Amino acid sequence: MNTQTHAAHHTGHGDHAAHAAGAPGGLQITQVGYTLDLENTVVRPGDIDFRFRILGPDGRAVTDYTALHDRELHLIVVRRELTGFQHVHPVRAADGTWSVRLNLQQAGTYRVFTDIAPRALGRAITLGADLAVAGDYAPQPIPASTRTFDVDGYEVALDGDLVPGEGRDLTLTVRRDGDPVTDLQPYLAAYGHLVVLRAGDLAYVHVHPNGEPGDGVTAPGPGITFHTAVPGPGTYRLFLDFKHGGTVRTAAFTLPTAIHHHD
Taking CA 33 as the corner, what is the angle to CA 29 and CA 35, rounded to the nearest 5 degrees?
Answer: 30
Q: Compare 109 and 263 and report the one with higher pLDDT.
A: 109
Q: What is the mean pLDDT of the chain?
A: 90
What pLDDT sits at residue 206? 78
pLDDT of residue 165: 86
Q: Which residues of 213-240 are buried (b: 16+ CB within 10 A; e: fewer)?
A: beeeebeebbbbbbebbbbeebebbbbb
With 0-12 / 13-18 / 19 or more C-beta atoms within 10 angstroms meaning exposed / middle / buried, residue 182 is: exposed
When computed from its CA atoms, the radius of gyration of the chain, rounded to whole angstroms, is 18
Tell me the per-residue pLDDT of 35-73, one tens digit each, with 9 for 90 and over.
999 999 999 999 999 999 999 999 999 999 999 988 999
Q: Do domains 3-133 and 148-256 have the same CATH topology?
A: yes
With respect to CATH, is domain 148-256 assigned 1.10.3720.10?
no
Cα distance between residue 160 and residue 41, in whole Å: 37
Q: Residue 22: which pLDDT band, with cuts at 50, 70 and 90?
A: low
Say yes or no to pLDDT of 192 above 80.
Answer: yes
Partnered with residue 169 across adjacent β-strands are 227
What is the CATH code for 3-133? Answer: 2.60.40.1930
Q: Is 92 left (phi over 0), alpha (psi -120 to 50) or beta?
A: beta
Pairing status of strand 179-180 against strand 168-176? antiparallel
Q: Where are the domains of the chain?
A: 3-133, 148-256
Nearest residue to 167 (alpha-carbon basis) of 23, 8, 25, 17? 17
- Return the H-helix or E-strand segment holding 137: none
pLDDT digits (tens, 9 = 90+) for 193-206: 999 999 999 999 97
Q: In this predicted structure, what is the pLDDT of residue 260?
A: 67
On the question of pLDDT at 14 being above 60, the answer is no
Residue 242 forms beta bridges with which residues? 249
User: What is the structure's pLDDT at 261?
Assistant: 59
Task: Tell which residue, 186, 190, 199, 183, has the closest CA to residue 238.
Answer: 199
The number of angstroms, rounded, from the C-alpha of 53 to the middle of its chain's C-alpha atoms is: 19
Is pLDDT larger for residue 207 or for residue 100? 100
